[in-house]
């Protein structure tokens, strides 16, 4: 992200937001259609989880605009630190949505007789879950990418990547707390002492193994996607 080219930054952000708004509305429409088709409101949690994935992206967009335009410098720093304190606990909600793939386990895709399930609703649900999960995951990538580039621009490339690694492994631990212990981001405000106690009790083999495995996966995926953006930027510069 070239912060010096403000017009390109604005166009890129608006285009990205437009794409993910369209995908999110498509997901909402699929949930509503399913409710009409089946008479039940299953999978409403996907709407909530996707909304939570949008929160850190919205915060990171505001942070980027403040980073570019806000003056004086001390005021900008105050705003960025304040927004960063919101962004950090909410960011894990974006990669958390990957764990919603576990709900595919409820579906019967294949019969032991060697034939596949031809039910429309089974494959409709498969597409719908994939849409929500992948949209939320890519929203999370964009959010981290924006903050990563601010850190890199301010402190250098090396510290920028250290920041990414720390955030993704912390997020993996946050995903563990959310999926297995059932904590939420806002519990940091409403039940901070209970949350702290739960965190201290979570330093065991299962939690550490999950955090390391999921964190490594997120880091590798981020590097892969970041490489694509780098190649795209180089192509545009030619």
Mean pLDDT for the chain overall: 91
For residue 34, give every residue at least 6 positions away whose Cβ sits within 8 Å of its Cβ, in sequence order, or none: 42, 43, 121, 124, 125, 128
Q: Which pLDDT tens digit goes with each residue over 76-120?
A: 999 999 999 999 999 999 999 999 999 998 888 887 777 888 889
Share of the chain above pLDDT 90, in %: 71
Closest by CA to 79, choosing from 88, 70, 87, is 70
Question: By CB neighbour count within 10 A (0-12 exposed, 13-18 middle, 19+ buried), where does 125 fall?
Answer: buried
Rounded average pLDDT over 131-147: 98
Q: Is 68 helix (H, G, I), strand (E, B) or coil?
A: helix
Residue pair 133/96 in contact by the 8 Å Cβ criterion: no
Q: How confident is the model at residue 231 (pLDDT cuts 50, 70, 90)?
A: confident
Q: Is 105 helix (H, G, I), strand (E, B) or coil?
A: helix
Q: Per-residue DSSP letters for 173-238?
A: HHHHIIIII---TTHHHHSHHHHHHHHHHT-SHHHHHHHHHHHHHHHHHHHHHHHHHHHHHHHHH-
Q: How many CB atoms lie within 10 A of CB 190?
A: 9
Q: Which pLDDT tens digit goes with each residue over 60-72?
A: 999 999 998 888 8
For residue 109, give every residue at least 6 positions away whose Cβ sits within 8 Å of its Cβ, in sequence order, or none: 116, 117, 122, 126
Residue 133 in this model has a pLDDT that exceeds 70: yes
Please report the pLDDT score of residue 42 as a whole number.
86
């Amino acid at each position: 992200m070239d912060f010096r080219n403000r017009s390109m930054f604005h166009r890129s952000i608006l285009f990205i937001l437009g794409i993910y708004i369209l995908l999110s509305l498509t997901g909402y429409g699929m949930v509503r259609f399913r409710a009409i088709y089946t008479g039940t409101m299953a999978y409403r949690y996907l709407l909530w989880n996707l909304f939570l994935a949008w929160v850190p992206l919205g915060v990171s967009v505001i942070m980027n605009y403040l980073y570019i335009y806000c003056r004086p410098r001390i005021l900008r720093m105050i705003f960025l630190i304040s927004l960063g304190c919101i962004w950090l606990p909410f960011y894990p909600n974006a990669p958390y949505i990957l764990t919603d793939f576990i709900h595919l386990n409820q579906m019967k895709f294949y019969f032991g007789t060697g034939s596949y399930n031809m039910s429309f609703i089974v494959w409709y649900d498969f597409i719908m879950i994939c849409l929500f999960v992948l949209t939320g995951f890519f929203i999370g990538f964009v959010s981290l990418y924006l903050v990563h580039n601010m850190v890199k621009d301010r402190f250098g490339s090396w510290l920028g990547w250290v920041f990414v690694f720390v955030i993704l492994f912390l997020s993996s631990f946050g995903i563990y707390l959310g999926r297995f212990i059932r904590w939420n981001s806002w519990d940091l405000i409403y039940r901070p002492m209970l949350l702290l106690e739960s965190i201290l009790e979570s330093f065991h083999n299962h939690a550490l193994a999950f955090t390391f495995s999921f964190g490594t996966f997120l880091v590798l995926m981020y590097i892969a996607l970041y490489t694509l953006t780098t190649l795209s930027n180089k192509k545009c510069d030619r």
